């Protein structure tokens, strides 16, 4: 996604990513990438606040969980809050790396993240198999694929994570209003703060919407560029 990255290629990758995630089997495997980013947000915040990370799980129904503990409600609140925003910020940072021609750093960061989870935190069968497969996929793409293909693969993964972050944020917002006692992170935030689940749903949704807005404005090729590539003169 540097200066030579065609808008048509970007949007074709986005279309392919959106279709792939609906394919039985492979779609579920690809969409678990967003779960990795989400749970990493909880883990990172727990570690930064000197909390304890007991276990992380990735499940074959796309759900995940991070079992953590801390010595204060304030820290627990920050840990619970950081899942959805962290996934959105990761998409923003990875697209920024791509735009500036540093896709290698993106690969190294994601491989390192998956390795840390595999070595230290994840012990359930599906989670370990998925992490190992993801590491192999990224390593082969990074070391064997031509640079432009490696960029395309990473772009597709980022767009999958972005779309899944948007969908999961909308879902959790709806649960915050309709089923506040079964809304995952939102429920945990309500318990630790005493504030209603719907309010936390709105706060998280607003933050993720703000990040998504900047992603689209700053890192999606403008439609005018796409039209120009197809020979449409927009100034006529």
Which secondary-structure segment (H or E) carries 52? Answer: strand 52-58
- Size (the chain), residues: 236
Structure-block tokens of residue 75 = 């820290």
What does the alpha-carbon distance between residue 235 and residue 73 come to, in Å, rounded to a whole number? Answer: 58
Q: Which residue has the tokens 């980022």?
A: 158
Q: Exposure of 22 by Cβ count < 10 A (0-12 exposed, 13-18 middle, 19+ buried)? A: exposed
What does the alpha-carbon distance between residue 184 and residue 42 come to, in Å, rounded to a whole number? Answer: 13
Q: Exposure of 112 by Cβ count < 10 A (0-12 exposed, 13-18 middle, 19+ buried)? A: exposed
How many other C-beta atoms are found inside a 10 Å radius of the C-beta of residue 58? 23
> How would you label 138-171 residue by residue, b for 16+ Cβ within 10 Å and e otherwise?
beebbeeeeeeebbbbbbbbbbbbbbbbbebbee
Structure-block tokens of residue 232 = 């449409």
pLDDT tens string for the chain (236 positions)?
Answer: 444 457 888 889 889 888 888 888 788 888 899 999 999 999 999 999 999 999 999 998 888 999 999 999 999 999 999 999 999 999 999 999 998 999 999 999 999 999 999 999 999 999 999 999 999 999 999 999 999 999 999 999 999 999 999 999 999 999 999 999 988 999 999 999 999 999 999 999 999 999 999 999 998 988 767 667 666 655 55
The CA dihedral of 68, 73, 75, 81, to the nearest 10 degrees, is 80
Using an 8 Å Cβ cutoff, are 37 and 66 in contact? no
pTM for the complete prediction?
0.91
Sign for the CA dihedral angle at 50, 51, 54, 56 comes to negative
């Amino acid at each position: 996604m540097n200066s030579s990255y065609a808008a048509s290629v970007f949007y074709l990758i986005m279309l392919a990513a959106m279709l792939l995630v609906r394919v039985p089997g492979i779609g579920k495997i690809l969409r678990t990438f967003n779960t990795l980013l989400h749970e990493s947000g909880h883990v990172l915040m727990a570690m930064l606040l000197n909390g304890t990370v007991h276990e992380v799980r990735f499940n074959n129904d796309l759900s995940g969980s991070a079992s953590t503990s801390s010595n204060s409600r304030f820290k627990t609140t920050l840990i619970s809050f950081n899942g959805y925003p962290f996934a959105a910020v990761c998409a923003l940072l990875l697209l920024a790396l791509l735009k500036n021609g540093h896709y290698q750093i993106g690969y190294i960061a994601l491989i390192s993240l998956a390795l840390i989870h595999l070595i230290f935190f994840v012990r359930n069968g599906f989670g370990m198999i998925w992490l190992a497969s993801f590491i192999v996929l990224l390593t082969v793409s990074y070391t064997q694929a031509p640079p432009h293909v490696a960029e395309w693969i990473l772009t597709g993964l980022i767009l999958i994570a972005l779309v899944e972050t948007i969908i999961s944020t909308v879902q959790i917002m709806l649960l915050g209003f309709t089923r506040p006692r079964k809304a995952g992170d939102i429920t945990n935030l309500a318990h630790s703060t005493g504030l209603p689940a719907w309010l936390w749903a709105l706060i998280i949704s607003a933050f993720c919407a703000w990040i998504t807005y900047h992603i689209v404005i700053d890192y999606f090729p403008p439609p005018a560029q796409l039209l120009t590539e197809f020979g449409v003169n927009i100034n006529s």
